[in-house]
């Protein structure tokens, strides 16, 4: 029976060290937050899609700035995207969904295998991506990362890194587990799509009965990246840097 591991960034000595190693990523295009007249909530979700925003929508200001729009405007934006987006097979678009491309800004040429520069994904070096592809790791897709602003600062890494610079892909998680125990859906707003989960009874655990068979996935109702023994072993076999595993 497989074990499950939360894959995450290691502990850093300072916030400055964390930012220096991982940098910052931006997805310029995405749906804004929403102010819903039905449920009364102002909110935004966190999800990164593997799709590019259709180019003829790039100039719509509400899709390339952060902020909040009315629920009626949100519905208009979602309809405009779905009309132009080819091969989309996902669920309903929700406020806060971000599209490709992704840009990396970092104080120096990046050299770690994992870069934790986003809340809802992680950047991986080419050698990690190649290992995942060669071993048919599922539950994820890859999107190229564009290096935008690369500084010349010298960084003292707390682990050994290659002298060669790395190219990266965004590891976009497309799968999730079944709901953890106690994660009762109290309500779903039909107008904006917001789910209200009972956080008081939800237990943040991962048990075999929740597994849907994917190698990498989110723990449902969270942004925890969960991997199987297979993935953990592959990563550790090449002494990958800037990654830590916590057994669940």
Q: Which two tokens stand for residue 209?
A: 């009965």
Cross-strand partners of 170? 123, 143
pLDDT for position 86: 84
Q: Edge-to-edge, what's the strand order for the sheet holding 4-8?
A: 216-218, 225-228, 4-8, 244-247
Strands 122-125 and 168-173: antiparallel
Tell me the per-residue pLDDT of 53-96, one tens digit each, with 9 for 90 and over.
988 999 999 998 789 999 999 999 999 999 998 888 778 899 99
pLDDT at 129: 97
Nearest to 115 by CA among 11, 14, 24: 24
Tokens 């003829």, residue?
56
Whether pLDDT at 19 is above 90? yes
Span 151-157, average pLDDT? 89
């Amino acid at each position: 029976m497989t074990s499950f591991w939360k894959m995450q960034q290691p502990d850093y000595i300072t916030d400055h060290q964390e930012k220096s190693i991982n940098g910052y990523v931006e997805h310029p295009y995405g749906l804004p937050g929403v102010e819903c007249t039905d449920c009364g909530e102002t909110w935004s979700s966190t999800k990164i899609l593997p799709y590019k925003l259709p180019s003829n929508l790039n100039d719509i200001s509400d899709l390339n700035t952060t902020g909040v729009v009315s629920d009626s405007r949100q519905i208009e934006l979602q309809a405009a995207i779905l009309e132009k987006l080819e091969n989309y097979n996902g669920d309903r678009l929700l406020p806060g969904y971000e599209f490709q491309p992704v840009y990396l800004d970092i104080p120096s040429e990046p050299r770690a295998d994992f870069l934790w520069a986003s809340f809802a994904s992680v950047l991986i070096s080419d050698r990690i991506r190649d290992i995942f592809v060669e071993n048919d790791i599922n539950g994820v897709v890859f999107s190229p990362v564009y290096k935008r602003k690369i500084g010349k600062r010298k960084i003292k890494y707390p682990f050994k890194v290659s002298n060669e610079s790395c190219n990266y892909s965004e590891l976009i998680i497309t799968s999730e587990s079944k709901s953890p125990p106690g994660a009762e859906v109290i309500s779903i707003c039909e107008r904006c799509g917001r789910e209200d989960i009972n956080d008081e009874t939800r237990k943040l655990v991962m048990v075999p009965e929740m597994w849907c068979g994917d190698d990498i996935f989110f723990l449902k109702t969270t942004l925890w990246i969960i991997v199987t023994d297979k993935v953990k072993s592959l990563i550790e076999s090449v002494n990958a840097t800037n990654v830590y595993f916590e057994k669940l």
